[in-house]
Structure 1
């Protein structure tokens, strides 16, 4: 269970850079929601979707981590903004590329290496630096590194009869829906101790079960969307 932010990405031989505010919430059972929004657009609040998602987000992903060995993780995604964007532009079948990252220590952070499509759609080697954050004390105003203990709230709900996932780790939650018409709805929110503060509202951001307090196996309907708790 971890809240991660990306410190930088490098496409050798180019220098490292970071143009996004990236947060990945990964639960104890390895479910993840990964949102990488451009810093120039963050925080973002709009129901009208007046900006196409591929101009607002560098990437967003929903899926599950599959550990392959001590250093490698396969990311099995069933929602990918890059794949959806290509599908909508070309009309070709929606195909999500395989993604395997190799991890190693990088000071107090982690280094991930592998190959994936760059912004030009060309598969290229990359180097990403990741930082684990404290899911209770990290806030939009102050970066706080991960603690040793992990007794935080840990919840995963999946959309029933659709593509969508909402996860909560500590005081942070994120959710993504790819609707049947291929529209997307995205939420990132932070609990400030008394209320949820939305930092990303895109599309039907209020379609997520942000106030869920039930148990594993429970169902909850928000608007037209039915959710099932698969982890708590």
Structure 2
């Protein structure tokens, strides 16, 4: 088992074309390999914000999906990973998602595989370059925290997952065919918070959680993961198997890890 990780994509290359990075892509993965992968297009027209944070425009969402990763050693120096898609913004029946992961000398990871290029609709070989971000202790906590919460309601057609790794948190919620996503980041109080979203949360411990991405209109209770590892304002911290209500939807803590 590996430690929780926050991974940023540097580039994607659809062979034989050159490598590009048209998105802000971040993947948060827990120790038990639960993940949320959000890929947000960079501004498409002049005047758009760097990242959409008020629910739209929906075209800024390139792809979002969550599930569980399965990693095996394919050969020395190379890992093979398969990513299940429990929630997928593009499809309710997604294609198989797998690739080989090869560590590079600069510390990055080269992922190679084959999948449908959305620009052409054809199966194409690809290369992605990823870098791991440093996971930090936030606020009044004394350790780094990873929390995963999820919801499944097949009667109402609802599926969602939220993963927090240290100072980052991402959530995805799909209701019927409509997908909403959010990304949050912990900002120390000394930083400029003048542009923080209206959804800003504070735990009174030297900083604030700031929403930096929101597409779609559904409420995603990322704040359920903001509890510290101890007690916060007299409220018990979230623990594994806790059931938490957010409006008329019940979310369950499926994993918590402190290191």
Scaled by the length of structure 1, the TM-score of the pair is 0.82
1:196 — aligned with what?
Answer: 209
Alignment of 1:32 with 2:32, yes or no, is no
Alignment of 1:2 with 2:5, yes or no, is yes
Q: Is the CA contact (8 Å cut-off) linking 1:20 and 1:36 kept in structure 2? A: yes
Relative to total residues, which structure has the larger helix share, 1 or 2?
Answer: 1
Matches within 5 A, 1:177-216: 177-180=173-176, 182-193=177-188, 194-204=207-217, 206-212=219-225, 213=227, 214-216=238-240
1:225 — aligned with what?
Answer: 249
Deviation at 1:59, TM superposition (A): 1.3
**Does the C-alpha gap of structure 1 residues 78 and 42 become closer, same or farther in structure 2, counting only changes over 3 Å?**
farther
Q: How far does the alpha carbon of each residue in 1:88-131 deviate from its partner, in whole angstroms, 9 at most, with x for none?
A: xxxxxx32110111011222201000001112221110000000
Q: Secondary structure at the match of 2:162?
A: strand
The aligned length equals 205
Q: Is the CA contact (8 Å cut-off) linking 1:190 and 1:198 kept in structure 2? A: yes
Give the number of the structure whose alpha-carbon radius of gyration is greater: 2
Gaps of 5+ in 1: 84-93, 138-150
Matches within 5 A, 1:19-98: 19-40=22-43, 42-47=50-55, 49=56, 51-52=57-58, 55-70=59-74, 71-83=79-91, 94-98=92-96
State the distance in 2 between where 1:195 and 1:206 align. 19
Q: Secondary structure at the match of 2:239?
A: coil
Q: Is the CA contact (8 Å cut-off) linking 2:25 and 2:37 kept in structure 1? A: yes
1:176 — aligned with what?
Answer: 172
Q: Is the CA contact (8 Å cut-off) linking 1:207 and 1:225 kept in structure 2? A: no
Gaps of 5+ in 2: 44-48, 138-142, 189-206, 228-237
Q: Is the CA contact (8 Å cut-off) linking 2:171 and 2:220 kept in structure 1? A: no
1:156 — aligned with what?
Answer: 148
Deviation at 1:195, TM superposition (A): 1.1
State the distance in 1 between where 2:150 and 2:175 align. 13
Deviation at 1:42, TM superposition (A): 3.3
State the distance in 2 between where 1:227 and 1:126 align. 36
4+ runs deviating over 3 angstroms: none
Deviation at 1:73, TM superposition (A): 0.6
Deviation at 1:205, TM superposition (A): 5.5
